[in-house]
Chain A
Amino acid sequence: MIAQVPEIRISQAQLLSEPDPSGEQPPAEAASQQVSAIRAYLLARGNSALADRGFHWLMVLCALSIFGIVLLILTELVRSSSQVWNQFHFSFFFKAYFDSYTGLPNYWDPVNGHFSALPFVYGTVVSSLLSLVLAVPLAIGVAIFLTEMCPKALRGPLAFLTELLAAIPSIIFGLWAVFVLVPLMREYVNPLLVRSLGWTTFFTDENPTGLGFVTAAVILAIMILPIISSLTREVMTAVPHSQREAVLALGATRWEMIRIGVLRNARIGIVGAVILGLGRALGETMAVTMVIGNSPEIHRSLLSNGYSMASVIANEFTEAVSDLHRSALMEIGLALFIVTIIVNVLAQLLVWAVTRGAPARVN
């Protein structure tokens, strides 16, 4: 009897949590039945039963509102973009118009009713991928340094600084980029890129404005770095210490330990972190709008001006010339929503696959 006493816990969380392995033993089972009997008595007692049930359902309602929001956004965007969808269907995202005089492509001309999202899709994809190329090695480097190499005293402040970077609003990145980064790119980086990488034909025209895909990618990389590195850090900390110790015991150097013991075990989560960073880069609006150049054209050169899906919405929505124009922008928004949802679901699944066993961490 005395042995059973510690088993009695009138705590909801305990009852709802998965059964203990020890729950298979008959005495403990009896105890848990006993607990639910006490609980049933408590719940059935007087008016608190009604209040309790009401409170419970109110909280469930709050939780369900999260699903409601997703559905609401989806239905609103589908409804508002139906005009363009009925007219163009999927060709909205691939079609190319050509100017009858010059023969040059003219994808986006709202005044004359030419709507094709192709240059925006191109701009979003190119700037996001380019930013990943810049951000991923740095982010993983930072994560490795912070989890495996950094002296303990430095770890907290450095982690805080990267967190701070994540908290800076997009508009401030944009402001800084316009007044500091763009002149820097125009004067030094772009000419250097043309000189050293011009032969690849991706860096041909020396953009005199300093705006363009590369500048957008640099600022995007700075913005998505903290997300990728903090998630990478999280999955790397989730790798059990025994893995590291086992590799070290075989005589590995620190880097070999990181490569074999940590990175290999955390690779799925790191891919998830990178995809999450991609999701952020795809939807980033203000900073990109301020530096990408805002011209709906497709050029081979990465230094030329471009446009992105989020930027065209931000720039043109309030000044849309027709209902069709507004509907086209809504359609771009819908595409952005669906793509980021898919990317985020994928990323979360990958990250959860690694960190599920680890305790919850407050960032």
Chain B
Amino acid sequence: MKAGENNLRSKIRALTDNGVTALAILATALVIAPLVAIFGYLIFKGATSLNLAFFTQIPKPVGVAGGGMANAILGSAILLAVASVLGVPIGIGGGIYLAEFGRGTKLANAVRFTADVLNGVPSIVMGLAAYSLIVLPQGHFSALSGGVALGIMMIPTVCRTTEEMLMMVPHAVREAALALGVPNWRSVLSITVRTASPGIITGCMLAFARVAGETAPLIFTALGNAFWSSSLNQPIAALPLQIWIYAQSPYDDWHRLAWAGALVLIVLIVVAVSLVRYVTSRGVLKGAS
């Protein structure tokens, strides 16, 4: 009697165990499915609409066949350049402080915490802030304000990845530099940062890829532009903005362009993410250790 009960219970336990395993596998499959679906659609739809004109022509009026997103690609490049000029040095500086000067201090913990929190602030709020900071005083939409909004978004990401990469540099390297009588700042810049530079660069690329796909902060800062423009003071087109405009339109031609734009964007991002993965998994500091 007792033995039979035990037998039944262990059978139930084994069954639950198998059931949970099956559920976990199912969950993983369900998560991978949309990813495969999205990539499949992007490649299928994007590749069939991607051609040379996409990279060389500006948008054509409705009904005119052809046209491309050359101005949006240029616009995205300009916006990202402005964003990097603002975001990368400040982010790296913050990361250097966290890893080299402030390790274990209260201030460093507070900065790290705030950076993580800032990472979770919706991008549209950044756009509102840039609007009120730059667009309102200037009186018109501009590429500069869009770049600033994106730059602000880059800072926390760059800061945290720089810190993590610098933490991986062994102490012996710093000690060796200081033992040679090198001033501290020199040792940080040309020894520690240099050792971690592949990691830092890929970290910057990750931040870069993230803001490259941002649309929300650009809607009321960069605004978009149907023509060539490279002035920082004028509204400028951007790839994600153009995708948004085209996706909402009722025209098949424009939908095709939107898919092509999305494919270009995703290729950029996948390359960046894979590079980061490659560098971190292989160990940043091959030469150092």
Contact = CB atoms under 8 A, between A and B. Distances in A.
Interface of A: 9-14, 16-18, 42-43, 48, 51-52, 54-56, 58-67, 69-70, 72-73, 76-77, 79-80, 137-142, 144-146, 149, 156, 158, 160-165, 167-176, 178-180, 222, 225-226, 229, 253-256, 258, 276, 279-280, 282-286, 290, 310, 313-314, 317-318, 329-330, 333, 336-337, 340-341, 343-345, 347-348, 352, 360, 362
Contacts of B66: none
A170 B215 contact: yes
Contact of B216 (A255, A285, A347): A285
A280 to B, nearest CB: 7
A66 B94 contact: yes
Contacts of A65: 90, 94, 155
A142 B100 CA distance: 36
Given A64-B111, A285-B124, A333-B128, A167 B210 contact: yes
Contact of B123 (A162, A285, A348): A285
Interface string B254-278: 0100110010011001101100010
Nearest to A43: B184
Given A48-B183, A60-B101, A161-B35, A172 B24 contact: no
A225 B31 contact: yes
A252 B80 CA distance: 54
Given A60-B101, A290-B247, A333-B128, A168 B118 contact: no
Contact of A344 (B98, B117, B152): B117
Interface in B198-253: 199, 209-210, 212-216, 219-220, 223, 240, 243-244, 247-248
Given A63-B98, A175-B247, A76 B133 contact: yes
Given A175-B262, A176-B41, A256-B13, A67 B270 contact: no
A352 B110 CA distance: 13
A138 B25 CA distance: 10
B37 interface: yes
28 contacts: A9-B175, A13-B171, A42-B181, A52-B185, A59-B93, A59-B94, A62-B92, A62-B159, A63-B93, A65-B90, A72-B129, A141-B26, A145-B25, A160-B277, A164-B270, A164-B273, A167-B273, A174-B244, A229-B31, A254-B20, A254-B21, A283-B120, A283-B125, A290-B244, A313-B128, A329-B128, A330-B132, A348-B116
A347 B116 CA distance: 10
Question: Which residue, A140, A226, A255, has most C-beta atoms of chain B within 10 A?
Answer: A255
A345 B111 CA distance: 13
B90 to A, nearest CB: 5
A266 B220 CA distance: 42
Given A13-B100, A66-B155, A225-B31, 8 more contacts: A62-B159, A66-B94, A67-B114, A142-B28, A170-B214, A313-B128, A344-B120, A362-B280
A16 B107 CA distance: 13
A63 B102 contact: yes
A347 B273 CA distance: 25
Contacts of A169: 210, 212-215, 240, 265-266, 269
Interface of B: 13-14, 16-17, 20-21, 23-28, 30-32, 34-35, 37-38, 41-42, 89-94, 96-105, 107-108, 110-111, 113-126, 128-129, 131-133, 136, 152, 155-156, 159, 161, 164-165, 167-168, 171, 174-175, 178-179, 181, 183-186, 188-189, 199, 209-210, 212-216, 219-220, 223, 240, 243-244, 247-248, 255, 258-259, 262, 265-266, 269-270, 272-273, 277, 280-281
B171 A172 contact: no
B255 A179 contact: yes
A73 B21 contact: no
B97 A60 contact: yes
B102 A42 contact: no
The 9 nearest A-B residue pairs measured at CB: A169-B213, A283-B122, A141-B27, A62-B93, A48-B183, A55-B185, A145-B24, A59-B97, A344-B120
Given A48-B183, A169-B213, A344-B117, A314 B93 contact: no
Contacts of B25: 145, 149
Nearest to A310: B124
Contacts of A226: 31
A7 B121 CA distance: 44
B224 to A, nearest CB: 9
A73 B131 CA distance: 11
B39 to A, nearest CB: 8
B24 A144 contact: yes
Contact of A340 (B37, B120, B240, B265): B120
A158 to B, nearest CB: 7
Nearest to B120: A344
B131 to A, nearest CB: 8
Contacts of B247: 171, 174-175, 178-179, 290
A120 to B, nearest CB: 13
Contacts of A330: 128, 132
B229 to A, nearest CB: 17
Contact of A283 (B89, B124, B178, B243): B124
A43 B183 CA distance: 8
A344 B188 CA distance: 32
